């Protein structure tokens, strides 16, 4: 088997998602507008992924920095196929929503499934590139498994702060022992830029977000996701079966590494107290 992901030489997030986005889309038999690992147990991948977004929003509301006004402006970094926008809209109906994604295909699909939803805008570009950001004041930023790809997180947070953001809420895969990524070529494309919990916290604090809290939900994410991937029948899978095999292999290893705390799944709130 040629390891497509393993052989990425210039393995930036854009290349990684161009190769894998279609496989993510087909993981659930009815297709899924989410690309996250889900909260388990759940009856299927779609429900698990939907539940994860809901849990992230509930966690965002638990932050002391959270101020749900009648209308606030939210930037979602890496909104995938657009499923998250729908969950956000259900919970915060008056939000002015901006989604920023480096994948044109995902944005086009997200625009189709959110058509008719008021105050919804998608922007094509990398979070690292200020030019692609919405030219408006932003109150809050959310990222579900996306900011882990950003190389200079401190710079990103400083720029968000300068845009008016007083709360950032993330769901992230963290790596406590970078050696596990360096020693496994399958992990490098997706995990090479992530960091430890301490590093996340110090980047937030350096950027002016002093109120940082987190919850570790590794045990509710990794084992269930690895089992769900293993249960996808290759014969019925409409995406690239080689990518599916590589997902299965890397996520079963990640689930094992999570047991010893070397890889973690956490929700993080970072806020500015005013």
Q: Which residues bind ligand SAM (CB under 6 A)?
A: 13, 17, 34-36, 77-80, 83-84, 100-103, 106, 126-128, 144-146, 149-150
Give the nearer residue to ligand SAM in terms of CB position, either 29 or 211: 29
The minimum distance between CB 42 and ligand SAM, in angstroms, equals 14
The minimum distance between CB 89 and ligand SAM, in angstroms, equals 15
Question: How many CA atoms lie less than 13 Å away from 202 in the CB half-sphere?
Answer: 5
Provide the terminal-to-terminal Cα distance of the chain, rounded to the nearest Å: 55
Q: How far apart are CA 50 and CA 247, in angstroms?
A: 20
Q: How far apart are CA 99 and CA 121, in angstroms?
A: 6
Q: How far apart are CA 86 and CA 84, in angstroms?
A: 5
Give the nearer residue to ligand SAM in terms of CB position, either 76 or 139: 76
The minimum distance between CB 219 and ligand SAM, in angstroms, equals 19
Helix (H, G, I), strand (E, B) or coil at 8: coil
φ, ψ for residue 93, nearest 5 deg = -60, -30
Give the nearer residue to ligand SAM in terms of CB position, either 150 or 243: 150
Q: How far apart are CA 194 and CA 59, in angstroms?
A: 21
The minimum distance between CB 229 and ligand SAM, in angstroms, equals 14
The minimum distance between CB 134 and ligand SAM, in angstroms, equals 13
Give the nearer residue to ligand SAM in terms of CB position, either 109 or 204: 109
CB atoms within 10 A of CB 179: 9
Give the nearer residue to ligand SAM in terms of CB position, either 81 or 209: 81
Q: Which residue is nearest to ligand SAM, using beta carbons?
A: 78
The minimum distance between CB 103 and ligand SAM, in angstroms, equals 4
Match 């909260």 to its residue by tokens.
Answer: 39
Contact, 38 vs 221, CB < 8 A? yes
Give the nearer residue to ligand SAM in terms of CB position, either 34 or 251: 34
């Amino acid at each position: 088997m040629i390891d497509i992901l393993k052989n990425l030489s210039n393995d930036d997030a854009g290349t990684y998602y161009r190769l894998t986005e279609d496989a993510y889309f087909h993981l659930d038999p009815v297709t899924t507008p989410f690309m996250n690992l889900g909260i388990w147990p759940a009856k299927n991948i779609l429900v698990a992924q939907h539940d994860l977004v809901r849990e992230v929003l509930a966690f965002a509301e638990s932050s002391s920095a959270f101020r749900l006004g009648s209308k606030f402006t939210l930037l979602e970094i890496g909104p995938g196929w657009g499923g998250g926008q729908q969950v956000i809209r259900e919970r915060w109906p008056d939000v002015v929503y901006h989604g920023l994604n480096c994948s044109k295909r995902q944005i086009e699909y997200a625009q189709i499934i959110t058509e008719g939803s008021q105050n919804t805008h998608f922007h094509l570009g990398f979070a690292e590139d200020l030019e692609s950001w919405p030219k408006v004041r932003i109150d809050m930023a959310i990222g579900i498994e996306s900011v882990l790809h950003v190389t200079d997180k401190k710079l990103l947070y400083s720029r968000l702060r300068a845009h008016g953001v007083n709360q950032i809420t993330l769901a992230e895969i963290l790596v406590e022992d970078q050696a596990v990524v360096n020693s496994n070529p399958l992990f490098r494309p997706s995990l090479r830029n992530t960091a430890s919990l301490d590093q996340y916290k110090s980047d937030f604090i350096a950027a002016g977000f002093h109120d940082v809290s987190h919850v570790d939900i590794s045990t509710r994410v990794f084992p269930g996701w690895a089992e769900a991937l293993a249960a996808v029948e290759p014969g019925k899978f409409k995406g690239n079966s080689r990518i599916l095999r590589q997902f299965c292999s890397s996520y079963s290893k990640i689930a094992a590494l999570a047991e010893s705390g070397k890889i973690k799944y956490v929700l993080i709130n970072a806020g500015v107290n005013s």
